[in-house]
Amino acid sequence: MAFLKGLKFLNVSRNNLSGSIPKALEELPSLKKLNLSFNDIEGEVPIEGVFKNASAISVIENTKLCGGVPQLMLPPCLVEVMKPTKPLSFKLKIAIIIVIVCFLLFSLILFLHWRKISKRNSSSLGSIIDLLPNVSYKMLYQATNGFSSSNLVGIGSFGFVYKRFLHPKERLVPVKVLNLQQKGASKSFMAECNVLRNIRHRNLVKILICCSSMDYSGNQFKALIFEFMTNGSLDIWLHPNIDREDQLGVLSFLQRLNIAIDVACALDYLHNHSVQPIIHCDLK
């Protein structure tokens, strides 16, 4: 109807209309008479245009109308006052601040504790590596008497383990020499170097240094140097043989159970808690 600029008379009485009066009716310049009576119209009556003249409009029997010019004698419209939001009480504000401060302090303590542990681990590993010289094939060959069987302490999936002394302080360490003729040995060497240098767990042997060189025949030579375990091989403890000279003793059931739990803890660390998940694949 807002586009009916030539509209002069509009009678929509007794049509059971509902809703509010369209504001566009104020803007019709030619509208002289408007009859909205006997409907169910509600809300505020405009006061511009044809609505300025109370005798030009009829709004009777629309009980929900309000406002308009005073001559219509309609009830005033209720002004909705926005209720101000109730400010937070002083005690609640204090409680929120205390919780936030406690959370920040707790986070700071955790961060400092984590950084302290990281520094301690890195410094301890660094001190071990600093004590070790640059290891070459010649040094390992001489220290193990030409990889003599008298210095052989074990045989693994990809090579042999010898014992030797490292200067300074004549420190005894095991040397794992890889058999590169074995399929996958080189890949195993790289995997162990990359993985073992990042793990930290009390039930896992630390790797101290890697050696990748050439032997006297011009062939590739790869070896890993670990911490020395003074109590010997776990295999000897778990499977005692009274005929073996290196047998150290007999384990009780509780000791065996503790060993199983410690191995499980180490595997759980490798699988779920190391920086990069590691699958052992060779648990004996």
- The whole-angstrom separation of Cα 131 and Cα 141 is 20
Look at residue 187 and give its three-state secondary structure: helix
* Catalytic residue list: 282
Kindly tell me the burial class for residue 175, based on how many C-beta atoms sit within 10 Å of its own C-beta (0-12, 13-18, 19 or more): buried
Rounded Cα gap, residues 17 and 43, in angstroms: 13
The token duo for 261 is 């739990």
Give pairs for 160-166: CB < 8 Å, separation 24+: 163/228, 164/140, 166/131, 166/132, 166/133, 166/135, 166/225
Neighbours of 74 (CB within 10 A): 17
Closest by Cα among 231, 210, 229 to 221: 210
